[in-house]
């Protein structure tokens, strides 16, 4: 790659990286400035809040305009607010407009870097598509990991609530005690339930919203069992103990299946990444060697290879995915 082409590409990529960093730090900087104001002693060194807000707005005036345009685009094409709900469930502290700007900026940086390393123009659109795929998959991966963490914490948390009920505490107080003892993310969700009940909502409705928000089958069963128990009566502690034992047994089977299918998942990841890594390595080290593959039937062969690898990885992952 000629230095005359590489240097401008790196400069543009660095500029986009600075814009992305500014977007991510905007909310944190404003919160830190406001926190500094609140920590000042009363009557000493008073600083108007408007000064900090104006300074922050001036600092990010161009960035805010870009985010507002992106937010308008998202609101126009996503009237159901699915992206906002997805980011909320993934616990990503960014707005949909900011996430769109970060995605576009990341795609541009990846395209420029691949273009600078390989010297072939069509790697740019491939990098943009990969950035879009990462932007789509990353929140879902975070949601999946959060669900797995909640699944692992749920049996012990339900047993703790049942023990508190046996000791004579109310169900709401038992949940509050569990949030003080348990670790995130389950404690955060139950703390939100407690706050909603303090605002006047019923416990069952707040639990039902939590189950819909997390989309976890075990939690939905617990909510339905509590709803039925409140309708027909009975000892809630015994019911929760039974559910905790059942969920714990399901979790043991789930872990055993995960261990048995680990080899298949690793094989899928290695077989899927190996051709791409080899292609990029050969292109970077010896660009002339790959030139015949970028014209005529070579492009058809590359597309067929990519399709075959993608189908193979999808089939392997489908085979090792066992629902419990």
For the stretch 92-131, what's the b/e string if a residue is b when 16 or more beta carbons lie within 10 angstroms of its beta carbon? eebbbbbbbbbbbbbbbbbbbbbbbbbeeeebbebbbebb
Q: Are residues 162 and 171 in contact, defined by beta-carbon separation less than 8 angstroms? A: no
Q: Give pLDDT, residue 89.
A: 86
Q: Are residues 80 and 46 in contact, defined by beta-carbon separation less than 8 angstroms? A: no
Q: Give pLDDT, residue 298.
A: 86
pTM score > 0.85 for this model? no
Q: Give pLDDT, residue 216.
A: 87
Average pLDDT per block of 10 residues along the chain, 324 residues long: 50 55 55 52 45 44 69 81 86 86 88 83 84 91 92 92 91 90 88 90 89 88 88 86 91 91 93 90 86 85 91 92 82
Domain formed by 145-252, architecture = Up-down Bundle (1.20)
């Amino acid at each position: 790659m000629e230095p005359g082409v590489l240097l401008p590409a790196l400069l543009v990529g660095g500029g986009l990286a600075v814009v992305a960093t500014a977007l991510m730090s905007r909310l944190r900087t404003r919160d830190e400035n406001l926190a500094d104001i609140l920590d000042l002693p009363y009557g000493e060194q008073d600083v108007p809040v408007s000064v900090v807000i104006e300074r922050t707005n001036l600092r990010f005036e161009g960035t805010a305009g870009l985010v507002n345009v992106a937010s308008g685009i998202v609101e126009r094409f996503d009237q159901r607010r699915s992206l906002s709900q997805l980011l909320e469930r993934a616990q990503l502290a960014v707005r949909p407009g900011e996430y769109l700007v970060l995605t576009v900026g990341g795609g541009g940086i990846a395209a420029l870097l691949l273009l600078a390393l390989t010297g072939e123009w069509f790697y740019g659109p491939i990098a943009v598509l990969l950035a879009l795929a990462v932007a789509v998959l990353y929140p879902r991966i975070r949601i999946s990991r959060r669900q797995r963490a909640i699944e692992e914490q749920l049996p012990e948390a339900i047993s703790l609530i049942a023990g508190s009920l046996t000791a004579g505490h109310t169900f709401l107080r038992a949940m509050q005690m569990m949030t003080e003892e348990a670790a995130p993310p389950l404690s955060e969700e139950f703390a939100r339930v407690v706050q909603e009940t303090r605002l006047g909502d019923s416990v069952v409705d707040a639990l039902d919203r939590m189950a819909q928000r997390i989309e976890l089958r075990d939690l939905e069963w617990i909510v339905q069992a509590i709803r039925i128990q409140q309708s027909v009566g009975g000892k809630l502690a015994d019911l929760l103990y039974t559910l905790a034992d059942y969920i714990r047994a399901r979790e043991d089977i789930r872990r055993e299946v995960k261990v048995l299918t680990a080899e298949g998942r690793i094989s899928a990841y290695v077989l899927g990444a190996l051709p791409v890594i080899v292609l990029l390595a050969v292109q970077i080290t010896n660009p002339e060697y790959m030139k015949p593959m970028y014209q005529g039937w070579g492009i058809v062969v590359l597309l067929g290879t990519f399709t075959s690898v993608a189908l193979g990885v999808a089939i392997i992952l489908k085979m090792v995915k066992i629902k419990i």
